[in-house]
Amino acid sequence: MADVLNLNVTGSITCHAWNKDRTQIAVSLNSKEVYIYGKNNSGGWQLTQTLSEHSSKVLGIDWAAKSNRLVTCGADKNAYVWSLDARTNQWRPELVVLRINRAATCVKWSPNEQKFAIGCGQRCICVCYYEPEQCFWVAKHIKKQIKSTTLCLDWHPSNALLAAGGTDFKCRLFGAYIKEVDGPIQQTMPWAAKVNPAECIAEYTAQNHGWVHACAFNASGSMLAFAAHDSTLYVVNSEYNVQETISLRTTFLPFLTLKFISNNSLVAAGHDCYPVCFGLNGNKLQLLEKLDITLNKTSSITTSAKNLFGSIDRTNQDQSTVTAINYIHQNSIKQVNIYKEDNGKVTHFSTCSLDGLVVIWDLNALEKQFANLRIK
């Protein structure tokens, strides 16, 4: 149902990324380093390399599956593209020319892996690509209508559209098409008849003025979901109306991350310390199940009590004032990533948390445990 990776880390994990075959994971421990762990022959995990180019906290990591390149960004206003040197088996960084003077907050490779987007605190989004004539990574800025820090990004499967949410209570859809990099657009756009670079195609507002912490497209690109600090989940279905949002005000604490696990279902997580699954039935968004697995319900947890409750020491909390939570995660979940897919359906996803844990969730096993969890 849920397996905890025994990484033996000594800090809060703020973001993580997997390589293509899921034998390596890169994590940020709320520090300026990126740690890469590899799976050994016995099935355990061990630290293989530490990437130390950043001079301040790393805030975003993404791993390109096809090209096997890492991109990282941080509070030092910099971003690096890391390539593995086959001769030395060491990761080599290339500086990205961002031209920003505020922290780079999030990063996401495009589906074709020819470019990536970086959000920042400078009221702009950097769409970055490699310039062969100059031999380094350059950025084009999207500035229209952005009024505050960008907190989340996601690409449309066509590589031409980019969703972004931030602290100005908005989730926006931008044209991020670069002809010299992307070539002709391969997919019909249900969101717009024509895509112009850096154009704001649509703008959606969190109804109760909450920061937009997370946004994501489904696999077909027909739906866009975003989560705000007002504990509301929003979905836009382009097959019905690209200007209309379907919303569900929840009783949960605010969500910080979300991913689609099928074309009509998604998983969100945040301050409640457990993932929650939602489904779209027609034009109605509904709660499917909260995956509040407690420690005495699961037998597949292989970590020790020391690792589970070690967050007390890692977060410098007074042990006499801390009440242990009886869930797998002991602190806010910062990120959800897709771990495994089968014929287009997500079968496993992973979460990382401020408690220093990375957990892999088996959706097939969870469907058997929870009667209301039926992913379509």
Per residue in 131-173, pLDDT (tens digit) is 988 889 999 999 989 999 999 999 999 999 999 999 999 999 9
Rounded to the nearest 10 degrees, how much is the dihedral formed by the CA atoms of 53, 54, 59, 62? -20
pLDDT, mean of residues 15-40: 96
* Cα–Cα distance, 269 to 214 (Å, whole number): 10
187 or 246, greater pLDDT? 246
Residue 14: which of 2, 26, 4 has the closest Cα? 26
Whether 183 shows a pLDDT value over 70: the answer reads yes
Tell me the pLDDT band of 129, cut-offs 50, 70 and 90.
very high
Most confident of 62-66, 85-89, 370-374: 62-66
* Cα–Cα distance, 65 to 23 (Å, whole number): 12
302 or 241, greater pLDDT? 241
User: Residue 363 — φ and ψ, nearest 5°?
Assistant: -70, -35
pLDDT of residue 323: 56
Whether 297 shows a pLDDT value over 90: the answer reads no
- Residue 73 token pair: 């960004």
Distances (CA, A) of 42 to 39, 91, 305, 359, 363: 8, 25, 21, 19, 25
What percentage of the chain has pLDDT greater than the value 70?
Answer: 91
Global pTM value: 0.91
Rounded to the nearest 10 degrees, how much is the dihedral formed by the CA atoms of 189, 264, 295, 340? -60
Distances (CA, A) of 49 to 25, 52, 56, 73, 336: 11, 10, 18, 18, 23
pLDDT of residue 326: 86
Whether 207 shows a pLDDT value over 60: the answer reads yes
Most confident of 181-195, 230-244, 283-297: 230-244
pLDDT of residue 182: 85
* Cα–Cα distance, 61 to 26 (Å, whole number): 8
pLDDT of residue 373: 86
Q: What is the mean pLDDT of the chain?
A: 90
pLDDT, mean of residues 242-250: 94
Tell me the pLDDT band of 298, cut-offs 50, 70 and 90.
very low
Pick the CATH number of 16-286 from 3.40.1350.10, 3.40.50.720, 2.130.10.10, 3.90.550.10: 2.130.10.10
User: Residue 216 — φ and ψ, nearest 5°?
Assistant: -160, 145
Whether 299 shows a pLDDT value over 50: the answer reads no
pLDDT, mean of residues 82-107: 96
* Cα–Cα distance, 217 to 220 (Å, whole number): 8
Tell me the pLDDT band of 324, cut-offs 50, 70 and 90.
low
User: Residue 164 — φ and ψ, nearest 5°?
Assistant: -145, 140
Burial class (CB in 10 A: 0-12, 13-18, 19+), 67: middle
β partners of residue 255: 270
Range of weakest confidence among 161-170, 177-186, 305-314: 305-314
